Amino acid sequence: MSELLRLTQIRKSYGIGTPIETEVLHGIDLVMQHKEFAALIGPSGSGKSTLLNIIGLLEPATQGALAMQGKAIKYTDEKTLTQQRAANLGFVFQFHHLLPAFSAIENVMMPQLINGMPVTGTARKEAEALLDAVGLSKAINKKPSELSGGMQQRVAIARALSLKPALVLADEPTGNLDTQTSDEIFKLLRRFNVEFNTAFLIVTHDPRLAARCDRIVELVDGNIAKDAVNQAR
Amino acid sequence: MKFELTLAWRFLREGRFQSALIIIGVAVGVAVVIYISALILGLQANTINRTLGAQAHIVIKPPDEMVRNVLPTDTTLATIQPKAQRLRSVDNWQVLMPALAVDPDVVAVSPMASGAAIAIRGEANRAIVLFGVELDRYDRIVELSTKLTRGNFRLNAGEVMIGIELAKDLGVDVGDRLRVLTPSANDQFQISGLVDLGSRDLNRRALYLPMRTAQNLLGIPGGVTNIDIRIRDIFSANDVAKRMQSVGSVNVESWMQTNGQLLNALQAQSVSTTMIRLFVSIVVMLGIASVLVVSVVQKRKEIGILRAIGASRGQMTRVFLLQGALVGFVGSTLGGVLAALLVAAFSALVTNSAGQPLFQIEIEPSLLISSCLIATVCGTLAAVAPALRASKLDPAQAIRV
């Protein structure tokens, strides 16, 4: 496996220059390889979502360096950040976060539309295949409001994979779902990890889900407390 | 651009009620602007037409006769009695005419021998003004042929055309005869036609006759008292008149000088229309801006997701700018239709006693197109602040909300 992501001494503070300045990440070092399937666990407030946002290039680190596929990322260049997000990253959020005005298939094809790719022919067939893979072939034209929570999350997963990113960041993808649906969603993530060779970094509170990942990174009070290959699997 | 346009349209469709309200707001605003503009243009055209109905845009006259001061120049006289202005001809008018006609702004030039007279029919007599004209040329100045109400449009020797009120006052009609008396001559004429010049006063005094006959009656054989000129753009009359002053020792008067008050009133109307347009545009822009600001707040999360999955700041800016432009365009198109209905209603409901519209109102296609364009540009400008706000949203924060 080759290196996908390297974080070096990442620090993040909020309220810089004010009396309430708080550092939530205290020098994180983390390396992820291609095709890895890792869980990021930790108590609430430990900095998991912040770390995920920094890796997802959604917010800048206060200090430290981030390299993706060997290329150092500068937070000052907004255009490159947008391009990197579109090219390398997929997102799955806890609350599905689909666009309510668009149908399931339009949501899946949204990254293509944003990147100015044609949204007919091959692209549509690929989106249909993705929705079929997540078991929603019959719901492609339905609006998010017509879908259940589990179905919406499947659409979100299909969307995250539509541009075949190298890394999908999932922020508590099953946090809002019942046990059975959570299990199905997890299986889907795993399947795409194998089929598409996509690396996953999954933030979760659920120890049972974490236990099924290949690697578990535990964050406590803004520091990595444990980072180990999951022997239990 | 496809992404931006698709998203802008869907966002507007999604907030259906909100979008409908603001589009109706724009439509009403644009309809008011188009309707008022058309109404004022119609009113002004009507006023100008009525006032200038029988008046040339520019009139060349002989210079006023002045009293020459023969005393030394440092002598101040208490009073100088002005000289009585006798009827005089424009010097060299036959040479002047082609010189005036070459001006690119000039449409037509016509000589006229004009002066005071009395019309007599039996017991009745009225003070009148003789207009001695070459009918074909003069028709090009004031379109007299369109003002004919009865009889024939012709001035053969011994024939005259008179105003409808004068005909009433003298109790005459087409084919009847009347006598015209001037200080130096008198003659009998047959009425060939009646004209309505749009003004009661003019209709009561006007008598048109062949120029040569008028010259003889007025005692200026071969002379003309003025040269009438019609120009392309009536509002450039002052400039053209100023240019013409150099053709010789003549008095050049434009309709704008002789109708100063009318001009002031027209200008005041134009200023009012511009003010109404400006304020309606501002209100429309504020309306669009406020709706889009609310939309940015409502769509925070969606903007955050879009940014996370690869949409750039520029794309988000354009999505909101396009929403403003779309609201402006759709609203103004509906506004154009609404204005057309208002104009039709005005023409149908506001009529004179004969059931005719008070005056002609027409919506020029250029007015419709420019209104649509301005509304679209205003919509886009109104969207600038909301669009910038949307583009500056921090995706991480937006998603967290």
pLDDT in tens, A62-117: 999 999 888 888 877 778 888 888 888 888 887 767 888 889 999 998 888 888 87
Secondary structure element (H or E) that encloses residue B294, with its range:
helix B260-298
The pLDDT score that the predictor gives to residue A233 is 63
Q: Which of A12, A50, A85 to mutate to test the interface with B (most CBs of B within 10 A)?
A: A85
Q: Tell whether A165 lies on the interface with B, counting CB pairs under 8 A.
A: no
- CA B59 – CA B235 distance, rounded (Å): 15
Give the DSSP per-residue string, B165-187: HHHHHHT--TT-EEEEE-SS-EE
Interchain contact B173–A (C-beta under 8 A): no
Given a cut of 90, is residue B63 above it in pLDDT? no
Whether residues A111 and B395 touch (CB distance < 8 A) is answered with no
CA angle B333, B335, B338 (to 5 degrees): 120
Q: Residue B32's closest CA among B382, B375, B310?
A: B375
d(C-alpha A29, C-alpha A44), whole Å: 20
- Closest C-alpha to B346, from B49, B53, B32: B32
Chain-chain contact of B306 with A99 (C-beta, under 8 angstroms): yes
Chain A residues whose beta carbon lies within 8 Å of the beta carbon of residue B301: 97
Across the interface, of B305, B313, B394, the residue whose CB is closest to A59 is B394
Calculate mean pLDDT across residues A188-194. 87
- Enumerate residues 297 to 356 of chain B having a beta carbon within 8 A of any beta carbon in chain A: 301-302, 304-313, 315
In this model, does residue A1 exceed pLDDT 70?
no
Chain A from 95 to 154: CB within 8 A of any B CB: 97-102, 110-111, 113-116, 119
Q: Are the C-beta atoms of residues B131 and B206 closer than 8 Å to each other? A: yes
Q: Do A97 and B301 count as a contact with CB atoms less than 8 A apart?
A: yes
3-state class of B189 per DSSP? strand
In this structure, CATH architecture of domain A37-60+78-229: 3-Layer(aba) Sandwich (3.40)
Predicted local confidence at residue A96, as pLDDT: 63
Residue where the block lists tokens 């003309």 = B224
Check A101 against B10: CB less than 8 A apart.
yes
Mean pLDDT of B107-130: 93
Q: What is the pLDDT of residues B53-62, one digit of tens each?
A: 678 899 999 9
* Alpha carbons A109 and B297: distance in angstroms, whole number: 25
| Confidence at B167, pLDDT banded by 50, 70, 90 | very high
- Give tens-digit pLDDT for B229-264: 999 888 888 889 988 888 778 889 998 888 888 888
Average pLDDT (B347-374) is 82
Tokens at B37, concatenated: 């503009």
Three-class SS of residue A7?
A: strand
> CA of B373 to nearest chain A CA: how many angstroms apart?
28
For A166, residues 6+ apart whose C-beta sits below 8 A from its C-beta are A4, A34, A69, A88, A89, A198, A199
| Among candidates A56, A93, A114 on the partner chain, residue whose Cβ is nearest the Cβ of B3 | A114
Average pLDDT over residues B145-149: 91
What is the pLDDT averaged over residues A28-47?
A: 90
* Average pLDDT score over residue span B128-136: 94
Which positions ≥6 away from B370 have C-beta within 8 Å? none
Residues of B with CB below 8 A from A83's CB?
A: 310
Distance to chain A for B303, nearest Cα, Å: 9
Please give the residue of chain A at the shortest CA–CA distance from B12.
A101
Mean of the per-residue pLDDT values of chain A: 86
Sheet with A37-41, strands from edge to edge, namely A89-92, A167-171, A199-203, A37-41, A215-220, A223-229
Summary mean pLDDT of chain B: 88
B162 close to B190: Cβ distance less than 8 angstroms = no
The C-alpha atoms of residue B8 and residue B322 are separated, in whole angstroms, by: 6
Give the rounded percent of residues in chain B with a pLDDT score beyond 90: 38
User: Do the Cβ atoms of A153 and A173 come closer than 8 Å?
Assistant: yes
Query: What is the reported pTM?
Result: 0.73
**Residue A37 burial by CB count (10 A; 0-12/13-18/19+): exposed, middle or buried?**
buried
pLDDT score, position B215: 93
Of B11, B311, B394, the CB nearest to A114: B311
Work out the percent of chain B whose per-residue pLDDT is above 70: 98
Q: What is the mean pLDDT of residues B285-305?
A: 86
What's the pLDDT at B267?
85
The whole-number average pLDDT for the span B208-228 is 93
Q: What share of chain A is helix, strand, coil (3-state, %, to 5)?
A: 35, 25, 35
pLDDT at site B307: 86
Of A86, A93, A97, the CB nearest to B310: A86
Above 0.90 for ipTM, yes or no? no
- Rounded-to-integer distance, Cα A187 and Cα A154, Å: 11
Using the beta-carbon criterion (under 8 Å), do B396 and A85 form an inter-chain contact? no
Q: How far apart are CA A97 and CA A149, in angstroms?
A: 11
- Categorize the per-residue pLDDT at B324 as very low, low, confident or very high, splitting at 50, 70 and 90: very high
Single-letter amino acid code for the residue at A203: V
Give the span between the Cα atoms of B230 and B210, in whole angstroms: 20
pLDDT digits (tens, 9 = 90+) for A117-172: 777 778 888 888 888 888 888 888 999 989 888 888 889 888 888 888 889 998 88
- Please answer yes or no on whether A110 and B309 come within 8 Å at the CB atom: yes
B228 has a pLDDT exceeding 90: yes
Given a cut of 60, whether residue B97 has pLDDT beyond it is yes
pLDDT at A56 over 70: yes
